[in-house]
A and B are shown apart, each in its own frame.
Chain A
Amino acid sequence: MKLSFSAEDEQFRQEVASWLRDNLSGEFEKLKGRGGPGDEHSFPQERKVWEQKLAQGKWTCVGWPQAYGGRGCSIEQQVIFFEEYARARAPGRMGHIGEGLTGPTLIAYGTQAQRDKYLPGILDGTQFWCQGYSEPGAGSDLANVKTRAAFDQASGKWRINGQKVWTSLAHESDYCFVIARTDPGSVGHKGLGFFLVEMDQPGIQVRPIEQITGTSEFNEVFFDDAECSSEDIVGEPGEGWKVAMGLLGFERGVSTLGQQMLFQNEFDEVVRLARSNGAASDPVIRQRIARAHTELKIMRYNSMRMLSGQSTGDGSLQKEALIYKLFWATWHRSLGELAMDVMGPECEILDAPPYALNRLQSMYLFVRADTIYGGTNQIQRNIIAERGLGMPKEPRGTL
């Protein structure tokens, strides 16, 4: 075990930090600290321009192999990039779905034609993606998707019908990857396909969901004979679940450390507030701040274990990775509660009518999503018990 980064990696850190210092200025100054979770609806157009700025510096897709246009950064360098990015308070990435999910999925499972068609727009920060997984009847039970895809021999295209929900930034996206049922009689994870669908077409309607915060970054997406070219299915019809699950594997990567730097920024704000308003002298608050600090520190160490960990060989997640979602989501939710308790009665007072939340208020409300999306805490506990501890699987219902 050793904790220090190599001299070359430290050099790389300097390079990232100085590029961000030089470029996150002028027209982009106002984007600092904006666009993160709970604030993704802010400055979408300006943040798209920022993506192109990043691309000019070759700072998009740093972890992609060079053969596909990425920087081919090592794990350590990716960690450093995401840390410095968050440390500089650079804006929430509009391109993270394309960079983190679509790209790696196409590199792993796509055809060369699909890579040629879609990777350049992700790399240069001009094309944006959203994720069409959840449906009204397919939340925790994701395999229960009902959206249908039928191949229309006449037009030579797939026709998609159904509804997706909780689609982040769908209204700002050019494409959506969609899992839909290609085998009409199938149930569960069999008979699904994985489609790359253009958003700007008559068969697609996006309706924003007004959230607990009064803002909207999640959407409902309705597919009414939406079209998808025969070249835009990833894998064979029926293999969609394999691709969809492979994609979820890409989610648990190095970006966790960048996410933690955002948490660190929020935590630091709570500490500053506690010191300035006197809450820091309350022994109970002191304990809670110290606990939050402790667990945020350990979150980082746990990610370092995940990233350095020996492969389990069978593709299953290591134990420290299995617990990670439950750990960070629960921590973040508690941070929101701590922030309100540090604010005291001021936590109720808004910046302006009708509902202008300040950053901590918005965080407090938005973090309630963390323990629900991407596998609720309850589903996470099932997964931990079943995959991590080998306890019996939940019986399927018969309704």
Chain B
Amino acid sequence: MEFAFTQEQEMIRDTAASFLAQVSDSAAVRAAMATETGYDPALWSRICTQMYWQAIHVPEAYGGMGLGYVEVVAMMEQMGKHLLCSPFFSTVCMGVNALLIAANDEQKAQWLPTICEGNTTATLAFNGGVNRWDTTAVTATWRKEGDNIVLNGSYRYVIDGHTADLLIVAARQEGESSDIALFVLPAQTPGVTRAWLPTMDQARRQASIALQEVTVETAAMLSGADSGNAALTRIVDLAAIALAAEQVGGSQQMLDATVAYTSERVQFNRTIASYQAVKHKAADMMLQVEVARSAVYYAACVAQEALSGSTLGAELPEAASVAKSYCSDAYFAVAGDALQLFGGVGFTWEYDVHLYFKRAKSSEHMLGNGAYHRERLAAMLLD
């Protein structure tokens, strides 16, 4: 048992942290936020060609770096801290995971190298517009027609859905209400329409996607070892763990910024950080950040075990729900406390607190909020 980063993992994290400190400062985030794409394509290209992050946990056989999910989580934590605007989460933590879990070898060989080369972004669309984040959220349908498959239906809350090059979509067979299948298709396929959904959190883009009689070859159906239902569940769990890591990074940034600000701000001839009312709130913030981090690091290990097919991977649903429920609530609480302790300036557009406060809420509801995941855990324990 070794529950700490290895030296290599620390190096990867520290390299990411210093790179992000340069390229994702407040001005860069605000510039990216103002575009419809939601990120700076030049920066993403730099990430893909110099840092190779898009390939981080793709096996070397498919042109990737062959690292694990602990590394993905370490990176997501840093991205959350610096609020990086990029298609990393959608491409790597949804698209790549979907292919790794649900695709057969041929499909992996077809799609993973193009993602690793850095020319293709991807995302996952499964939610038909409900506050459910499992297979029951899927409302789109598919049917067989000769040698082809025809897809119909719509999706909401698709991260980077309006810009992704490659879509992985979930649909249930017409007439067979329970069986889900996943399909991979280029976003330009005829019959696909996509629309940017403007969001309160401007640092991450969401879109809606409609499929109208979209015709694809049967080879587009992902057909790895798992059933579509089991695959989708695992993909969403892996994504939730990555998102929880991002929440830890954002919480840490809010704590650090609050300590720095309250240590400078003087009222009644003393720094406000010297007041016990402020110290105790900061202590509660630190508790939540550290507890959240413990949850995420454990979940990252379980995710890695799940990806490598080990028995510990069976804990994935529980580890994902533990991490996502705690981190969602912690991030929102910490960001809210930060806003309060910054006082009036925390309410301004100029200070960055609102960017994190908004991200805390958007990431809380994406892939299921605390109550949603707790009910999932309660069902495991009590039913």
Chain A residues with CB under 8 Å of chain B are: 1-5, 9, 76, 79, 271, 274-275, 280, 283, 286-287, 289-291, 293-295, 297-298, 301-302, 304-305, 307-310, 319-320, 322-323, 326-327, 378, 380-382, 384-386, 388-392, 394
- CB–CB A289/B382 < 8 A: yes
Minimum distance in angstroms from B237 CB to a CB of chain A: 15
Minimum distance in angstroms from A305 CB to a CB of chain B: 5
Query: 10 nearest interchain CB pairs?
Result: A290-B374, A385-B279, A384-B283, A381-B283, A286-B378, A301-B298, A392-B274, A302-B294, A308-B3, A304-B3
| B6 at interface, CB cutoff 8 A | yes
- CB–CB A381/B1 < 8 A: no
Most interface-central of A271, A286, A298, A394 (chain B CB within 10 A): A298
- CB–CB B3/A290 < 8 A: no
- CB–CB B381/A323 < 8 A: no
- CB–CB B381/A293 < 8 A: yes
Residue-by-residue, is B240-283 near A (CB-CB < 8 Å gives 1, otherwise 0)?
A: 00000000000000010001001100000001011010111011
* A-B contact sample (18 more), CB < 8 A, given A294-B295, A323-B291: A1-B300, A2-B2, A3-B312, A76-B1, A275-B382, A287-B371, A290-B377, A293-B381, A294-B374, A298-B295, A301-B294, A323-B290, A381-B284, A384-B283, A384-B287, A385-B280, A389-B259, A391-B282
Q: What is the size, in residues, of chain B's interface with A at 8 Å between Cβ atoms?
A: 50
Chain B at the A interface: mostly helix, strand, loop or mixed? helix
Residues of A within 8 A of B300 (CB): 1
Residues of B within 8 A of A291 (CB): 325, 374
How far, in whole Å, are A4 and B274 apart by their CA atoms in the complex? 44
| Cβ contact of B294, chosen from A79, A289, A305, A388, cutoff 8 A | A305
With known contacts A287-B375, A290-B381, A390–B259 Cβ distance under 8 A = yes
24 A-B pairs (CB sep. < 8 Å): A1-B301, A3-B298, A275-B382, A283-B375, A290-B374, A294-B374, A295-B291, A297-B295, A297-B298, A298-B291, A302-B290, A319-B286, A327-B291, A381-B280, A384-B287, A385-B283, A386-B279, A389-B259, A389-B279, A390-B263, A391-B259, A391-B273, A391-B282, A392-B271
| B293 at interface, CB cutoff 8 A | yes
- CB–CB B280/A378 < 8 A: yes
- CB–CB A1/B259 < 8 A: no
Residues of A within 8 A of B6 (CB): 1
Chain B residues with CB under 8 Å of chain A are: 1-6, 9, 70, 255, 259, 262-263, 271, 273-274, 276, 278-280, 282-284, 286-287, 290-291, 293-295, 297-298, 300-302, 304-305, 312, 318, 321-322, 325-326, 371, 374-375, 377-378, 381-383
Minimum distance in angstroms from A77 CB to a CB of chain B: 11
Residues of A within 8 A of B377 (CB): 290, 293-294
Residues of A within 8 A of B305 (CB): 3
- CB–CB B382/A382 < 8 A: no
Minimum distance in angstroms from B177 CB to a CB of chain A: 26
- CB–CB A323/B280 < 8 A: no
| Cβ contact of B322, chosen from A9, A280, A298, cutoff 8 A | A298
- CB–CB A290/B279 < 8 A: no
- CB–CB A302/B291 < 8 A: yes
| Cβ contact of A389, chosen from B5, B276, B283, cutoff 8 A | B283
Which of chain B's residues has its CB closest to A298's CB?
B295
Residues of A within 8 A of B4 (CB): 1, 305, 308-310
How far, in whole Å, are A363 and B275 apart by their CA atoms in the complex? 35
How far, in whole Å, are A76 and B1 apart by their CA atoms in the complex? 7
Residues of A within 8 A of B2 (CB): 1-2, 308
Residues of A within 8 A of B3 (CB): 1, 3, 301, 304-305, 307-308
Residues of B within 8 A of A389 (CB): 255, 259, 279, 282-283, 286
How far, in whole Å, are A9 and B279 apart by their CA atoms in the complex? 42
How far, in whole Å, are A9 and B304 apart by their CA atoms in the complex? 22
Residues of B within 8 A of A289 (CB): 378, 381-382
Residues of A within 8 A of B283 (CB): 323, 326, 380-382, 384-385, 388-389
With known contacts A1-B3, A1-B300, A280-B382, A394–B276 Cβ distance under 8 A = yes
Residues of A within 8 A of B326 (CB): 294-295, 298
- CB–CB B1/A287 < 8 A: no
- CB–CB B287/A323 < 8 A: yes
Residues of B within 8 A of A287 (CB): 371, 374-375, 378
Residues of B within 8 A of A2 (CB): 1-2, 301
| Cβ contact of A326, chosen from B263, B279, B287, cutoff 8 A | B287
Residues of B within 8 A of A320 (CB): 290, 293-294
How far, in whole Å, are A4 and B313 apart by their CA atoms in the complex? 12
With known contacts A301-B3, A301-B298, A319-B286, A290–B291 Cβ distance under 8 A = no
Minimum distance in angstroms from B263 CB to a CB of chain A: 7
Which of chain B's residues has its CB closest to A321's CB?
B290
Which of chain B's residues has its CB closest to A297's CB?
B322
Residues of B within 8 A of A304 (CB): 1, 3, 294, 298
Residues of B within 8 A of A9 (CB): 1
Residues of A within 8 A of B9 (CB): 1
- CB–CB A290/B297 < 8 A: no
Residues of B within 8 A of A384 (CB): 282-283, 286-287
